[in-house]
Amino acid sequence: MLQSLAGSSCVRLVERHRSAWCFGFLVLGYLLYLVFGAVVFSSVELPYEDLLRQELRKLKRRFLEEHECLSEQQLEQFLGRVLEASNYGVSVLSNASGNWNWDFTSALFFASTVLSTTGYGHTVPLSDGGKAFCIIYSVIGIPFTLLFLTAVVQRITVHVTRRPVLYFHIRWGFSKQVVAIVHAVLLGFVTVSCFFFIPAAVFSVLEDDWNFLESFYFCFISLSTIGLGDYVPGEGYNQKFRELYKIGITCYLLLGLIAMLVVLETFCELHELKKFRKMFYVKKDKDEDQVHIIEHDQLSFSSITDQAAGMKEDQKQNEPFVATQSSACMDGPANH
């Protein structure tokens, strides 16, 4: 008897704080996922980093042996300056001296990466004025971009997602949930094909040093707004039609970002995902909702009564004037 009572009380306690338990498991799962990613990246990339460090040490030692007139300190100062310039997108290599980072098309590409929060990091402002303007430009431009993307995605979602699902549901009598799931899967497949696979094939042809995997990697990193900056198109030596190529990449990033947001909005509107998300939200108390409703009704009722009382007072104030005016009109004919 006591065990059953204890068990039922524990069940009621868990059910009462179900959203809190789910939220705790969500936080724990996210932290474990972070640790899992760190372990995998470290185990995969650390050996390659070690090999690269050993190779650079050998090259440095060989270079100093072949050029005895140059000291190690002078070489490190030169390499430090070269690497510092490379971080700003400026290279001393002869095959990269012809590409300017701040012509109009490159600046347009940079502005699009700033506003979309992609930020490849291959080109950064050099001057203090440019850095200050970048801060002001981003503070205004990023919320403006969010507003623009939200409005565009909302309009596209109405025509691409909601109306087709509603049409098949009403016209053919299919279940709305099933139609929504099938539509979301098809839309995701079309988006991945048009903005990942096909552009990856195009980039693998236009970029000499990129294979298909690297091109697909660039598309995913860009459209997910991660923007690591290890692969940036249009930066090769003697790139043909570089200005037009940069404008095309800017349009691709903007359209691809809109398509990704439309797909995400379509999946977020699925009934199953809505139910899953609600597991981690704080549930509203019904008593608080009723109190808010009662308070709202009382406020609205009091405002109506106040308005009615005000109208009555206005009528009372106007009644003596009407009465005196009518009595004067009656007295006038009598005197005559």
- Give domain limits for the chain: 101-281
Which amino acid, one-letter code, is at 122?
H
Tokens found for residue 133:
């303007």
Q: Class of 101-281 per CATH?
A: mainly alpha
Q: At 328, is the pLDDT very low, low, confident or very high (cuts 50, 70, 90)?
A: very low
**With b meaning 16 or more CB within 10 Å and e meaning fewer, what string describes 202-241?**
ebbebbeebeeebbbbbbebbbeeebeeebbbbbbeebee
What pLDDT score was predicted for residue 318? 46
User: What is the average pLDDT value for the chain, to the nearest integer?
Assistant: 79
Q: At 212, is the pLDDT very low, low, confident or very high (cuts 50, 70, 90)?
A: very high
**Block residue for tokens 């701040």:** 102
Task: Tell me the mean pLDDT in the region 5-28.
Answer: 74
Tokens found for residue 258:
């809109």
Helical segments of 233-285, H only:
242-268, 271-278
More confidently predicted of 331 and 77: 77
Task: Tell me the mean pLDDT in the region 159-178.
Answer: 89
Give the whole-angstrom CA distance, residue 285 versus residue 292.
11
Report the percentage of the chain scoring pLDDT > 70. 76
Tokens found for residue 182:
């099938």
* Cβ pair 188, 290 in contact under 8 A: no
233 has a pLDDT exceeding 60: yes
- The pTM of this model reads 0.72
When mean pLDDT is compared across 231-235, 251-255, 264-268, 280-284, the lowest value belongs to 280-284
More confidently predicted of 31 and 121: 31
What pLDDT score was predicted for residue 213? 94
- With 0-12 / 13-18 / 19 or more C-beta atoms within 10 angstroms meaning exposed / middle / buried, residue 68 is exposed
Task: Tell me the mean pLDDT in the region 117-142.
Answer: 88
Tokens found for residue 6:
């204890």
The number of residues in the chain equals 336
